[in-house]
Amino acid sequence: MIHNQLLIIFLLMISPKIFASSNYGFVDVNTTSEYTISAEQTVLDMPNYRSEDSLGICFADTVATAVDKANCHTLKISCSQMEDRDKASTLDLASFGNNEDSSKSEVLVGSAKNISEGGSVNAAMINAMFKAGHVTNENCASFDKLVSKPGSPADVQRLQQYAWTRLKENYKQYLTLNKNCTSCLDNFAATAAEQLNQDFGIKKDPIDILKAFAQKSYLKLIDQLFIDPECRKVSQQVRLANPNQTLQVFPKTGKTNYAQSLQQIKTVLSTDVPVIIPAYCTDDKIPSNINSCVAGHSFLISGYRKVCKANNTCRDLVKVHNSWGQSWQEQHNGGWVDAKAVLERTNYEQGSLSWLEEIK
């Protein structure tokens, strides 16, 4: 069964367009010089890194990666070589992140729930994989293909951010248009069609474009533009390959501490399962209650290391599997960062760690 847990929605989710100016609590540790590794526990064969660009759907990336890892482990296939038809769609998972939906007795699939910026990891996992029981595959509703661009990682990131920014500006422009001006709407649709083709490689006729931009929010616009109704068919869905899996959380009640959280992480990692950090506060000052955090983030931990200096001074590291793309990992020692700095930003509260576990 799925245990009761604190399901947190942040009002703002950090996107990669701003990580370059700040580490947001991640403390890099150079283990190649003064430190040597004395203990290590690493999840083998993690899925490839995804990038949420500037859309702010890290919670959906996190769930998609956790589901992909669980399925490739169950099916005994290489996670890094998984085909898109077997991967969970980040775009579709984003529509399951509403905390309110997790308390309902049923979740409708394909009901245009609309993509949400800033959602709950645990709610998205429960709503999509346990209540609905499936999610669209990455082949049909591919975020990575949608924003794929040639060039260096830095150039790709700039192009992706530009594409999302331009789309959002176009939506703002549409809101100001005189809807009784036929020529105004026609000109807008023609320009938008050209830009959508340039930025995302999709082709829409003017009628469909105007219908999409007429949605009540920018996020509903994205759902309308990028998730084809055909993707809702059963044949295009991904399920947990092992039906006996459930979402576990730690702590289940109350608060915990650094030592207990770190031990739980090591225990889960020893089963070749990554740990989800569903609520990580990136505020300059960490509030006493995680619900008071203004800017939040989520990611997975796929490794633990104890590193020591020659004088036997040691520190703990965790390997962050982030949703900010391959370039972030490369810039941050492969994702190896100070463990205590990470865990302190969870505030050690109820449900601050979660993971998929098989019911024996």
Question: Tens of pLDDT along 151-165?
Answer: 665 676 677 778 888
Are 194 and 103 within one domain? no
What's the confidence (pLDDT) of residue 147?
64
Minimal CA–CA distance to 258: which of 176, 130, 344, 327? Answer: 344
pLDDT of residue 9: 38
* 7 in any annotated domain: no
**What pLDDT score was predicted for residue 229?**
85
What's the CATH code of the domain at 298?
3.90.70.10
Pair 244, 222 in one domain: no
Q: Which pLDDT band, with edges at 50, 70 and 90, does 217 fall under?
A: confident
Classified as helix, coil or strand, 338 is: strand
Q: Do 243 and 347 have their domain in common?
A: yes
| pLDDT tens figures, 76-101 | 999 999 999 999 999 888 878 776 44
Both 131 and 160 in one domain: the answer is no
Return the DSSP state at 23: -
**Does one domain contain both 200 and 246?**
no
Q: Is residue 322 part of a domain?
A: yes
Query: What total number of domains does the chain contain?
Result: 2
For residue 122, which amino acid is it?
Answer: N
Q: What gap in Å lies between CA 49 and CA 319, rounded to an integer? A: 13
Its domain, for residue 74, covers 12-140+236-358
Q: Strands 12-13 and 295-308: what pairing?
A: parallel
User: Partners of 317 in the beta sheet?
Assistant: 305, 338
In a domain, 231, yes or no: no
User: In sequence order, which ranges of the chain are alpha helices (DSSP H)?
Assistant: 58-75, 90-93, 121-125, 143-146, 153-176, 182-200, 206-213, 218-226, 258-269, 325-331, 339-344
Residues 32 and 129 in one domain: yes
Instruction: Tell me what the mean pLDDT of segment 277-283 comes to.
Output: 89
Which amino acid belongs to residue 173?
Q
| Lowest mean pLDDT segment, chosen from 4-18, 142-156, 335-349 | 4-18
How high is the pLDDT of residue 157? Answer: 65
State the Cα–Cα distance between residues 79 and 183, nearest whole angstrom. 50
Q: Of 51, 59, 47, which is closest to residue 19 (Cα–Cα)?
A: 51
Confidence of residue 106 (pLDDT cuts 50, 70, 90): very low
Answer whether residue 3 is part of any domain: no
With beta carbons less than 8 A apart as the criterion, state whether 209 and 313 touch. no
Bigger pLDDT: 52 or 329?
329
Please check the confidence at residue 31 and state whether its pLDDT lies above 80: no
Residue 134 and residue 150 share a domain: no
- 4 found inside a domain: no
Same structural domain for residues 63 and 205?
A: no
- The two three-digit tokens of residue 20, written as one number: 């370059």
Amino acid identity at 306: K
Give domain status of residue 6, yes or no. no
Q: What is the dihedral of CA 7, 236, 144, 67, to 10 degrees?
A: 40
pLDDT for 145 beyond 50? yes
Structure confidence at residue 314 (pLDDT): 93
Please, which pLDDT band fits residue 243 given cuts at 50, 70 and 90? very high
What are residue 306's DSSP bridge partners?
39, 316
pLDDT of residue 179: 95
Question: Residue 317: which of 33, 81, 25, 37 has the closest Cα?
Answer: 37
